[in-house]
Each structure stands twice: as structure tokens, then as C-alpha cells.
Amino acid sequence: MSSINFADQLIDEMKRKQSRVIVGLDPVREHAPESMQKIALTYHGMGNREIRSASRWGIREFCERIIEATDDVAVAYKVQIAFFEKFGSMGLAILERLLEEYEDKLFIIDGKRGDIGHTSGAYAEAFFYSEEGDMAPLLCDAVTLNPYMGRDVVDPFMPYLKKDKGAFVLAKTSNPSSSDIQDIALNGVTVAESIAAKVSEWGADCVGDHGYSSLGLVVGATFPEMARKIREAAPKSIILVPGIGFQGGQANDAAAFCNDDGQGAVFSFSRSIIFANKFGPFKGRYEDAQYPEAARVAAEHYRVAINDIVGKP
């Protein structure tokens, strides 16, 4: 395991690859290549051991080819764990293998964990490592956390964040109904801004050599005006930004998530990259079997688009 602060690891990758692009690994069956869909549909219809194995290898191959095609652009890979959990032990076995096989890449597991006490500690040990140093079954570099229950959610992760791991706390999510809770204001300060200020405070002891904390924030690309307020409240927090592309966020708004020097944010793309032959500006330009090539072109497209707005990392 690395002994380098997670924020420093991420920023080093950004500088090395001149990129802020994070690729989301969401192997949604209905958007996947036809060959993979047929395997998965057969599995769901029959469920025998041989078909289970074939389905598992199909998902694994899809993710592997995406990783290998986008490696020179992606600064990290964000795994939405639900798309693996839905396959039960088979899906988690795929994820374990991917994390082990590509241990030299940075992985963020997007599970939005939000519990307390021993339960939260168990989540930390599942994704990081135990206090005794035992490796976690889903060993990754960072996770996403839901702060609804307060600092008690984050505390069990803090010993890891002070070493080499990271976490991103939900502040303002990209879904339209996020305003139901996150835009509620008390004395003119919204819940989202309050979370940002708390995260800035909680992560003060986790700041690395590059000046950013390993405790970051999640802010959806669909709310750039709110992002400016959050950025002001948490200047040393790296902001993970989902939602450009399919969810309606615009690359032209990238500056709202960065500090004045253009630093402090990374941008996550899932469907717009891994299914670029079906979504986004490259829709229909590539055959089904060419999804890795389409993903590589899309990743580079977004890398350049964001750099054109805020400069190179």
C-alpha cells in the first residue's frame, strides 16, 4: 500500500496525465455490447453454473477493456458498486478481481456509505484494511460517504485518510430532487454549504503536500452556482464532479468547481465514456464491438474540453 496522502496521489496523476477525467465503471447490461447482453440474459433465464461463469467473464472483460483503453487519460476509476452487487457474490468476485488485477490504478468505490460506530468501521475495513493491517476484500483508494448522520459517519474512516486513503462526502448531488433536502437554508446557509464547511473542518488534519485534503466532496455538475458557494466554503477539499454529459452538466461550467488557479476538482464520466458509442457526442459513430475505441476518444474529448476551460492541471 502507498504511504502517500490520497489527495497527493490523485493530484500527481492529474499532473502526469494532464487530465481531470475519472472514468465510471457502471456495467449496465442494457447499454453493454450485444454479445455481453446475450450472455447476461441467458444467465438470468437459466441460472446454471456454466452460464453464471460466462456472464461473469463477460462483465469482467468489458471493464478490463475500458480500463486498458482509457488508461492514459483516466486519473482514477469510479466504481458504482450497485452494478456489481446486483449480481451477488459473482459480481463482488468480479470487482475483487478487477481491483487486484489493476492495483496500480486509483479506484474510488461509489457506495455512499452512511452509518456509524462499528458498522461504519466495518465498511472502512471492507474497502481499506483492518487495524491489524489485513488487506480488505474490496481494497480501493477512496470511497463516497453520505453525511446524513453527521461526523460519526466519517470518524471511523479518518485514521485511513490520515495515511493513504480518501473519501468524498456528498454535499450537492446532481439529481433534480436533491433540492428537497440539500437546498434547505438556515440563516441563509444551505445544507449543502453547511456540509462543505464541516468537511473542510473535519479534513483539516488530512491535507497533503499539494495543499488539498484527502477528505473531499461530491458536487453535481448540474448545479454550478451552488458549486461556487461550496468551493468557497471548502477551498482545500477536492471536489468530485459527476453529471457532465448524460445528466445535463456542461463542461463549460468546470471553473465553478475549481479554485482560482483551476485546481481542486476532478470530473467523473460514466455512460458518456464507457457507452460513448450510444451516448454523447460520439453516439452512432462506432460499431457495438468498438466500444473501447469509442471510450478512449470520448475520454480524450472531455480531457481537452475541461482543460480548455480551466487550463492544464
pLDDT at res. 35: 66
- Asked if pLDDT for residue 96 goes beyond 50, the answer is yes
Three-state SS letters, the chain: CCCCCHHHHHHHHHHHHCCCEEEEECCCHHHCCHHHHHHHHHHHHHCCHHHHHHHHHHHHHHHHHHHHHHCCCCCEEEEECHHHHCCCHHHHHHHHHHHHHCCCCCEEEEEEECCCHHHHHHHHHHHCECCCCCECCCCCCEEEECHHHCHHHHHHHHHHHCCCCEEEEEEECCCHHHHHHHCCEECCEEHHHHHHHHHHHHHHHHECCCCCEEEEEEECCCCHHHHHHHHHHCCCEEEEEECECCCCECHHHHHHHCCCCCCCEEEEECHHHHCCCCCHHHCCCCCHHHHHHHHHHHHHHHHHHHHHHHCCC
- Asked if pLDDT for residue 50 goes beyond 60, the answer is no
Mean pLDDT score across all residues of the chain: 91
pLDDT at res. 45: 46
Residue with cell 446475450: 38
Q: Report the pLDDT averaged over residues 69-93.
A: 93
pLDDT band of residue 266 (cuts 50, 70, 90) is very high
Fold of the domain spanning 6-29+69-310: TIM Barrel (3.20.20)
The answer to whether residue 162 is catalytic is no
Domain residue ranges of the chain, discontinuous segments joined by +: 6-29+69-310
Measuring CA to CA, which residue among 157, 147, 141, 70 is closest to residue 109? 141
pTM: 0.92
pLDDT at res. 95: 94
Of the listed 15, 78, 105, 112, which one is catalytic? 112
CB contact at 8 A, 170 and 111: no
Q: Considering all CA atoms of the chain, what is the largest pairwise distance in Å, rounded to the nearest integer?
A: 60
Count of CA atoms in the C-beta half-sphere (13 A) of 8? 14
User: Which tens digits make up the pLDDT trace of 196-255?
Assistant: 999 999 999 999 999 999 999 999 999 999 999 999 999 999 999 998 876 667 888 999
